[in-house]
Structure 1
Amino acid sequence: MENYIVIIAIISSIILFLSAVIVFVRFYRERTQFKILLGVALIVLLAGSIINVFEHTAILQSAEEFEQILSILFLPIIIFAIYESIIGEQLRTHIKSEQMFKGIFNQTFSFVGLLNSEGRILEANSTACDFIGYDNDEYKGVFFPETRWWKHSAEEMKNLEGAIKQAGQGKTVRYETTNIDKDGKIHYVDFSLKPIHDSRDRLIYLIAEGRDITEIKSTRLELEKHKKNLEDIVEKRTLELKTANEELQLKNETLYEKNTIINEQNAKLVSTLIDLKETQTQLLQAEKMASLGVLTAGVAHEINNPLNYIVGAYEALKQKDTHSGDEEAEMLLDAIKTGVDRVAGIVKSLNQFSRDTPAENEECNIHEIIDDSLVMLHSRLNNKIEIHKNYFKDSFVTFGNVGNFHQVFLNILSNAEQAINEKGKIWIKTTKNDNYLIITITDSGKGIEKDAINKITDPFYTTKDPGEGIGLGLSIVFGIIKEHGGRLEFESEVNKGTTVTVMLPQKGMKHE
């Protein structure tokens, strides 16, 4: 029997030894406190088992007392291990949850405080304390309305006392209030008080929470101000429109009465237009004199006299050796020559424009006439409009009146310039077929409506604003070209530009 007991004791010792090894391996990996106690208990139990083996093998007959002591130690240790594994783990979980709660509590951007049921402050997060400048726990136990957050306003303190009473009755309270910061600046706050109950529905805490809405409030006030201004403007404009509408109705009534008179006079105007066609030749000369007047002939003559002096002085300076090799002097002389040539070109253009000779009596170089017209419009085209010329490479000559043709192209180019509001381009292209010289002038201006394109050569019809033209320019141009056996055509698209095509008989092909 003794042998069986020894064998069982040895097997038990081996199992206990392996269990102790496993416990210590896990302890090394997880370092859990209750496993330490469990390991100690197993070691004590293992020691008792070993002593029991020695006792039954007569190696250690007096070991029974040690075995009893170890058995007594094993029981409380194993109890402590069980306690640590159950209660201790719950305690650590509770501590971890509390730490997580405090982290969230202190890191939120809102002002958060915990009050007791009487409204005395127990805790406040770091955001609220940093805002008002509280250090440590100096706010604890103070009645919430008496803390520094509310000291700026007795009215707000009173409102808060009322809110605490309502929250104490189990109601959630939320309203807009103000808090003062540590620098004395007032902030708008979205404030709330929420009651917290225990499992028996008894009020134990009040949660105070505030969100700084100063920027939102300022933006809202600014928007309300703009809204009020807009409403005032709309009301004012509505009144103005109402008044204008009443005035317009009165004017419409007056215009309706006058419309009958206008219709009666329309027949007289048709008759007048027939008379105007008969006086077109006289109007041509009158318009030229109105645009240039005595200035064309008189000023051209007067400019030629001093211009001759300047040319003579330039030639004399050019022949002197005094400035030989002086680059700056040479540049200045070239500048004088350029200016003289420019003035001479302008005088030539003015003289050509004012010539009054019978039609079809002269040889007219169209390229030179176009260039003269561009010279006369130079001040209006400069720095505003790019001119692109694509001239026919061979002779481009017809018969007619040089002055009249100047009038034609000056009018067309002037209209193109006026059609361009700011910067733009004008393209001039000349070509010919078997019978005609073909000149196309295209601008990048505002264009002409389709309904108006067939009326622009009618006398007194104009698309310009009042005071900028009387509507005779293109009418006269049409008459001159027709008189010379040519044709005038228009193509236009609104906001894209207009193309004017002039077709004149070639030299040697006079019209009958």
Structure 2
Amino acid sequence: MQRELNSMVLTSPSTKVQHFLVVEDEQGKRTIPLMDSTCSIGRDLSNSIVIHSPSSSRQHALLMRVTMPDTDSHMFRLIDGNLQGKRSKNGLTVNGQACTSHDLKHGDEVIFGHDVRARYYMTNNISDVHYLESCASEDVTGFLSNLHNPMQTLTTADEMLTSSNEAAIVRLASFPELFSNPIIEVNLTGRITYLNPAAQAQFPKLRDEQSKHPILTGLVALICNDNDKFFVREVEIGNQVFEQSVHFIAESDLIRSYIVDITERKLTEAALQDSERRFRAIFNQTFQFSGLLKPDGTLLEANQTALDFGGLQLEDVIDRPVWLARWWTTSTDTQKRLKAAVLEAARGQFIRYEVAVLGARDVVATIDFSLKPVRDDNGDVVLLIFEGRDISDRKQVEAALQQAHSELEVRVQQRTAELKQSNEQLRSEIVERQRAEAALQSSVATNRALINAMPDWMFRFSADGIFVNYKDAPNTTLPLPTEEFLGKPLDQVFPQDTATSLMNCIKNALGSHEMQLFEYELDHDGNPLMFEARIAVSAENEVMAVIRDITERKRYEDDIRTALNKERELNELKSRFVAMTSHEFRTPLATILSSAELLEHYGHKWDDTRKLKHLNQIQQSVEHMTGLLNDVLLLGKAESGNLAFKPIPMQLTEFCKGLAEELQITTKTHEIVCRLQDQPAETRMDEKLLRHIFTNLLSNAIKYSPQGGTVDFDLVFEDNYAIFNVQDHGLGIPQSECDRVFNSFNRASNVGNISGTGLGLAIVKRSVDLHGGEISLTSQEKVGTTFTVQLPINQRVEQDG
């Protein structure tokens, strides 16, 4: 079924060029249309194009889509090996010449390994495309031999690359097609010169709308009106927010944009701001005066009630010693006393006393002031909480009562003397005494009313811990687990531990006549509540206990402590990450800069071989940095719980043998000795995670055995587990550091100048955990290290479906 070429109607040069690969292997000949994206070629079924031959590698080659500069056309570059830079086992040839990289041209013949043959064709005739997609393989051969090359009527790939300036060539070597984030390039007239696949997918109308699209609006004007060659801006499109990093490439008058979707981040920031507002609202409602101090007395926070009382703004007092604030009277003794109280609280003591404060318009009030230390997990004081209640009215009432009692006593004495002198004055004395008793009763009633107004529970206890009487607090929960408690001892009402502690406080108060402070926890309808009891002597052999619900305050303290711990952990992680990246990125960046400068200044004098050498150095450095970033991203997925676990049936023994063969190729000074037991039954594991585990362990065994030698790789099956051992005879790990080897960014102190990120073993540990397995190690310095991995052999999880 040979189609006549004379009937073919050539389309205009603007028609999109179609690319095809005709592959002939053990399963026969077939035509494969090449999509507009980079694809992989190899024997493994996970490749985009699968070739069937024992001489081909699992990942044999890459077919990389390269966009032609300043056009909508593209070409394909064939690269030997996989994305990690590992070359194929038997290589490839193009038109009879062995090569590692080649820009394909119409009619090129490629041989993968020894016996897989392929030819590359292009056409812009739509009838050719329809014919190749529908006809049988035996009808294709004659037709392809006469297939029209559309690039003969257009500018050829070589001419287009030759006419491109050096900046465009550098762009082709940077693999923008592989980035998952959109990348856009425009010239100074606003016309789009390049879009990577991610940009086309994210903004499908971009090429039609050009500079009118929201992502490009005003971009050229900002570059032309500003001397900066780099800036970052945020762009809102519908419900999405994007962060756009803009670079001006002066050498080629191009503007390159890197775009990241930050919608989730913006939502998170809004949620944090809302949380801060809620915290501020709650904080301003706590007590009459409250705030937070550093252990040295520096004021961190004050509630609005305290600021309003003093007629102050937060900036008037923040980051200053609290004893210098305008609240306190100008008395030097007051400031010294407050400073001493802060220092004592910073040593872990609870402080409480009365102090005079100076408000707006010079109003002086008395507050019941307290300082409470907050400790971290190590027992160190990291924060001080100050609280205060205005007790000016109470002090005035107490003074009035004291004065009334003094006056009454004087009057009684006077009336008694007058009774002795004259019986005639007896009636008037009795009347006066009755008046005095009425005044006393009024004072007692006033005192009772003040006590009833207090929002706390009040209990009276005898010296032996018996409930004598109580005053409840309105609209609050009774801080007792037993309702009928009057006349009962403490240990019949409270849990034993709480009763014992309260009894000790009662004894201490009666013995020292000093107030005792005690905190305890009770369960109420399944919810734990915290209470604070302040115990003081109220009569002979009797004490008064004022009990307050401090559950919310304790919750705030725990939240603050948790936030401080989280901040410290994040700071430590950030420091280790910055140290690692600054060290590991310095060498490849120096190599890239050096090679780029040499190509810039001497490239026109060099032959292609020498140029290719420096381009390969740049490529290898980029691949090394990409590997580091991939490790960081993989660890981030594992830490956030997004690393997938997908067990499948697999031949574990064959997998280990193949992995050892792959790594053996990377070293000439080491020998990987495998002792692998045959698999006794079906094994289900995640092959991708297994490769992370044992590639890291075997690579580390080779890297940290700089003198060479053997690396032992053992596999045995016991019960329902597969047990792996990886043993080297190298540097070993100091015994004191073995318990930290699986931490992120951790490296042993004896590795010297051997490069590494400290991420490999952290990834190994999380991959083992996902399998439900265990990993352990034994090590001795200058002798070697053995890692033992134990994994269930038939793991089934809900994700399997």
Q: TM-score of the superposition, structure 1-length normalised?
A: 0.31
Q: Greater share of helix residues, 1 or 2?
A: 1
Larger Rg: 1
The higher relative CO (CA closer than 8 Å, separation ≥ 6) is in 1
